[in-house]
Amino acid sequence: MIKYFTHQEVLALRRMRERFLAGTAGAQDYWQRPDDIALYDTTFAERIGWKWDGVLAELHVRAWQPQSRHVLDWGCGSGVAGRRVLAQWPHLESLALHDRSPLAMRFATEKARADFPGIHLAALESPLPPDTLLVLSHVISELSAPALDQLLSVAREAREIIWVEAGTHVDSRRLISVRETLRGRFSAVAPCTHQHACGLLAGKNAQHWCHHFARSPSEIFQNARWMDFGRELGIDLRSLPYSFLVLERPRPIPMRDGFSHIIGEPREGNGHLKVLSCHSDGVAELMLQKRDAAALYRVLRKGDGPPVHRWELTNGKITGSAE
Ligand SMILES: C[S@@+](CC[C@H](N)C(=O)[O-])C[C@H]1O[C@@H](n2cnc3c(N)ncnc32)[C@H](O)[C@@H]1O
């Protein structure tokens, strides 16, 4: 059987995995050899990249994209997260990389420069440029409580945040507490369907955690190197659980189609009102005849009623309003 990894590489990969699983990776900088980070990039980081593909596909379905022009990949390791978002959103102009490991920073910088020659590689600024997308990937298990607090101070300065973690109970629960901490300042974009406290915080849901499964590309199951990797590390290559959180600074709530706003006040004529109405098509003066909608006529004449209307129009005249 052909071996795709040397004995030294297998040992290095096993060491990495044990550290990640034991939760001891935060103790000190573990990137000591350039070969290790390169090996990480084509193995563990590649799998993390497939999780990012899952997250970015969901954001695409939700028709969401960052408004930011700058990216900060914090705890970048070999830099897979930053590269994934640059590939997804070509409007992004610059990438800043940050890691406690100088070796990781160097590797990530060189790789980003090679893959995205048009991107400006920026230094980490404090405070962050106001239109910064902060990306975080598989860091939470390595941060002590004070280190996480420090990171959250940086996160508060970002415009948008995409945070992807291993889909374990403990990491998902940490991410949920991050969401609760940042909820006042940011709106939840995904995976949440609402802006309230996370429903998993209810006592009855304590055993659950917010996780999802990404797809490994089907080609890897015909790829002998990946098969060798799975065998040597005892990893089921089909299983790619992850947790994630996407936040953004609240944007003005987009108005749904069909709403109109009255400019100023309606002007009363003989048995009718003239309403200057602003809607997505523009601004137009519309007539409301008392005989067509007497109740609405009374409400508008008194200046009562909701701030926006959805006019029912007949022959260009207002005949009702569905609030
Ligand atoms: C598991 S690796 C993940 C790397 C990369 N984000 C990814 O998804 O492949 C965690 C990274 O966080 C970095 N890290 C850990 N603690 C850190 C800290 N306090 N400040 C900055 N980087 C840190 C480590 O050096 C390591 O590169």
> Mean pLDDT, to the nearest integer, of 28-42?
96
In a domain, 137, yes or no: yes
pTM comes to 0.82
For 128, which DSSP code? P
53 lines ligand 1 (CB under 6 A): no
What total number of domains does the chain contain? 2
For 221, which DSSP code? G
In a domain, 178, yes or no: yes
Determine the Cα–Cα distance for residues 226 and 230; give it in Å rounded to an integer: 6
C-alpha 243: how far from its chain's center? 11
Look up residue 8 and give its two tokens.
């030294």
In a domain, 159, yes or no: yes
Do 36 and 143 lie in a common domain? yes
Do 226 and 295 lie in a common domain? no
Q: Is the pLDDT of residue 114 over 80?
A: yes
76 lines ligand 1 (CB under 6 A): yes
pLDDT of residue 256: 58
Ligand 1, atom 8, residue with closest C-alpha = 137
Determine the Cα–Cα distance for residues 263 and 44; give it in Å rounded to an integer: 58
Mean pLDDT of the chain: 93
In a domain, 255, yes or no: no
Under 8 Å between Cβ of 65 and 40: no
Determine the Cα–Cα distance for residues 164 and 140; give it in Å rounded to an integer: 9
pLDDT of residue 253: 62
Give the pLDDT band (50/70/90) at residue 1.
confident
16 lines ligand 1 (CB under 6 A): no
Give the pLDDT band (50/70/90) at residue 310.
confident
Indicate the length of the chain as a whole number: 323
Do 152 and 205 lie in a common domain? yes
Which residues, in sequence order, are bridge partners of residue 302? none
**Which residue, 248, 282, 308, sits at the end of a domain?**
248
243 lines ligand 1 (CB under 6 A): no
Q: Is the pLDDT of residue 5 over 70?
A: yes
pLDDT of residue 246: 97
192 CA to centre of ligand 1 in angstroms: 25
For 259, which DSSP code? -
> Mean pLDDT, to the nearest integer, of 127-139?
97
Amino acid code (one letter) for 16: M
User: Strand (E) positions, the chain?
Assistant: 70-74, 94-98, 120-122, 132-137, 160-166, 187-190, 212-213, 241-248, 260-262, 267-268, 272-279, 282-289, 308-309, 311-314, 317-321
pLDDT of residue 51: 97
101 lines ligand 1 (CB under 6 A): yes
Give the pLDDT band (50/70/90) at residue 323.
low
**Atom of ligand 1 at shortest distance to CA of 30?**
25
Determine the Cα–Cα distance for residues 300 and 285; give it in Å rounded to an integer: 14
Please give the residue range of the domain that contains residue 304.
260-321
> Mean pLDDT, to the nearest integer, of 273-281?
83
Residue range 214-255, pLDDT digits in tens: 999 999 999 999 999 999 999 999 999 999 999 999 876 655
Ligand 1, atom 27, residue with closest C-alpha = 77
Q: Is the pLDDT of residue 185 over 70?
A: yes
pLDDT of residue 34: 94
In a domain, 242, yes or no: yes
142 lines ligand 1 (CB under 6 A): yes
pLDDT of residue 255: 54
Q: Is the pLDDT of residue 303 over 90?
A: no
Give the pLDDT band (50/70/90) at residue 261.
confident
In a domain, 254, yes or no: no
Under 8 Å between Cβ of 83 and 48: no
> Mean pLDDT, to the nearest integer, of 253-278?
82
Determine the Cα–Cα distance for residues 69 and 262; give it in Å rounded to an integer: 36
In a domain, 47, yes or no: yes
CA atoms within 13 A on the CB side of 172: 17
pLDDT of residue 24: 82
Do 139 and 206 lie in a common domain? yes
Do 290 and 224 lie in a common domain? no
3-state helix, strand, coil in the chain (%, to 5): 40, 20, 40
Mutate to test the pocket of ligand 1, among 100, 154, 242 (most ligand atoms within 8 A of CB): 100
Do 147 and 230 lie in a common domain? yes
**Which residue, 219, 248, 277, sits at the end of a domain?**
248
Do 125 and 269 lie in a common domain? no
Residue range 47-105, pLDDT digits in tens: 999 999 999 999 999 899 999 999 999 999 999 999 999 999 999 999 999 999 999 99
Do 27 and 137 lie in a common domain? yes
CATH number for the domain that contains residue 172: 3.40.50.150
> Mean pLDDT, to the nearest integer, of 146-150?
97
Number of H helices, E strands in the chain: 9, 15
**Which residue, 198, 223, 248, sits at the end of a domain?**
248
Determine the Cα–Cα distance for residues 86 and 238; give it in Å rounded to an integer: 26
137 lines ligand 1 (CB under 6 A): yes
Do 40 and 107 lie in a common domain? yes
pLDDT of residue 153: 98
In three-state secondary structure terms, 292 is coil
In a domain, 1, yes or no: no
137 CA to centre of ligand 1 in angstroms: 8
